[in-house]
Amino acid sequence: MVSLAPKRSTVDYNERNGVSAVLLLRFRVVPALTVDEFTTDCTMKTSLLLLAACLFSCSVCSPVWSQFDEPDAASTKGTSLGEPLVQYLKVGISVTAQGGPCRGLEGTTPTPVAWPEQEMELIDEDISPAVRRLNQREIGPVGSNEATSRQMLIEIPQLTAGEEAHAILTFKLTRYAQLPPADTSILVRPSSRDRSVRGYLTPSPKIETKDRGIMKIARQIVEENQGKSDWELVEAFYDWVRDNIQYVNGPLKGARQALRDGTGDCEELTSLFIALCRIEGIPARSVWVEGHCYPEFYLVDDEEQGHWFPCQAAGDRAFGSMPDRRPIYQKGDHFRVPESKERYRYVPENLVGKGGSPQVKFIREVLPNLP
C-alpha cells in the first residue's frame, strides 16, 4: 500500500491521521436510474466522465467551489503569484480481488484542491465498469468551517477472484510560486473574536501547543523581540526553529519530541513552528504537498482582511513566500472522517469490504508531461 503522507509508511500514516466540516457530494451514476437499476457499463462510464468533468472543472471557476478562494490572489497586501509550473497528476484507487471473490468494497483517497496558487483542470478519467459509484467529499479541519481538503470515494459491489477495478483521474495543474507582501508593517495577528481561524489556534496531532517546553520557548522568543511587529515575531519563531532543530529525516515524532531531541525533518520543523505561532495567538497550519510539507501563518492587514503566508521550514530559507511548486493536496493538520472516531493529521486513504483479501493500490503520480 502506498501512503499519501509526506512520510511514506502506511502504518505510520494511519496512526497520525484523521475531520469536522464534512460536505458529502453524492451523485447517482445515471441521473434517471437508481444504482440498483443501473446495469449498462457503457452508460455508466459515460455518466461518470460527465460527472467528474463537471465536478472538477467547477473547482476552478464555479461559485460552488468559491470557499477555496482567498483574497490573497487579488490583493497586493497578501502574497502575489510568481512564475507558473504546469504539471500533470494522476490520483486514484486500484483494487484486485485475491484469495477469492470480494464484495461491498468502499475506498477513499485524497484528491487535490484548487487554491489561488494552484489551478486545476480534469483532463482524463479511467473508471472500470465494476466501479458502481464515484463521489467527492470535502473536508475541513476540526474547529474550522473551511473545507481545505477533498476525498474521492468509490463503491465496488463485487469482484470475482483475480478481477481488478480502478478509478483514476488525471489533472492538469498550474502551480504558481508565491511572492512576499510589499509592506509587512501593516500585518498583525487577528482579533480573538475572529472565529474563522479558531481551528488553527488549538492543538493538532503532533502539534502540542500545551507542552510546557514549547510554551517556555515561545515566551522566551517573545521577550527577546519586545517592540517588534507581529511579522517580525513570526519570523523570529521561524528562525529559532531553523537554527535550533537540526534536519534529520526519520519517522514522525511531533513538535514536542523534536524540541527534546533537537532534530526532525519537514514534519517536525513545520509542527514546532506552528505550535509556537498558535501559542501566541497567531493562526498557523500545515500544507501537504507531494513528498513534503511546509507551514502557513495568518495575519490581517490594515483593512482587517486576512491573508495566509507560507514559509519553508525545511530547505532553503523562504519566509512569507514559497518558491516550491509541488502539487498541493491539503491544508490543515487536524481532521476527522465520518467512518472513524480517530483524529488525523492528514486526511486518510482507506479500503473496506468483505470476502477474500483485496489488494489495494492508492495511486498518486506526478508527471512533467503527459505520456
User: Which domains are seen in the chain, by residue range?
Assistant: 10-178+333-367 (2.60.40.2250), 182-320 (3.10.620.30)
Torsion of CA 142, 211, 258, 232, to 10 degrees: 80
Per the document, the length of the chain is 371
CA 286 to CA 249: how far, in whole Å?
A: 18
Q: Identify which of 256, 265, 272 has the alpha carbon closest to the alpha carbon of residue 291.
A: 265
User: By the 8 A CB rule, do 322 and 310 touch?
Assistant: yes
> What does DSSP say about strands 350-354 and 328-331: parallel, antiparallel, or unpaired?
unpaired
User: By the 8 A CB rule, do 35 and 114 touch?
Assistant: no
Helices 212-224 & 266-279 angle (0-180, nearest 10):
70
User: By the 8 A CB rule, do 283 and 222 touch?
Assistant: no
CA 116 to CA 182: how far, in whole Å?
A: 18
What is residue 93's DSSP assignment? Answer: E
Instruction: Locate the DSSP E strands across the chain.
Output: 20-25, 80-96, 102-111, 118-127, 133-140, 149-159, 164-179, 246-247, 263-264, 284-289, 292-300, 306-310, 328-331, 350-354, 359-367
Quickly list DSSP for 31-79: TTS-TTT---HHHHHHHHHHHHHHHHHHHHH-GGGGGG--GGGG-TTS-
The sign of the dihedral angle between the CA atoms of 64, 69, 75, 76 is negative
**pTM strictly above 0.85:** no
Each residue's pLDDT, cut to its tens digit, for the chain (371 residues) gives: 333 444 433 323 233 333 333 444 333 333 333 333 333 343 444 444 444 444 444 443 333 333 344 444 445 799 999 999 999 999 999 999 999 999 999 999 999 999 999 999 999 999 999 999 999 899 989 988 888 999 999 999 999 999 999 999 999 999 999 999 999 999 999 987 788 898 999 999 999 999 999 999 999 999 999 999 999 999 999 999 999 999 999 999 999 999 999 999 999 999 999 999 999 999 999 999 999 999 999 999 999 999 999 999 999 999 999 999 999 999 999 999 888 889 999 998 999 999 888 999 999 999 988 76
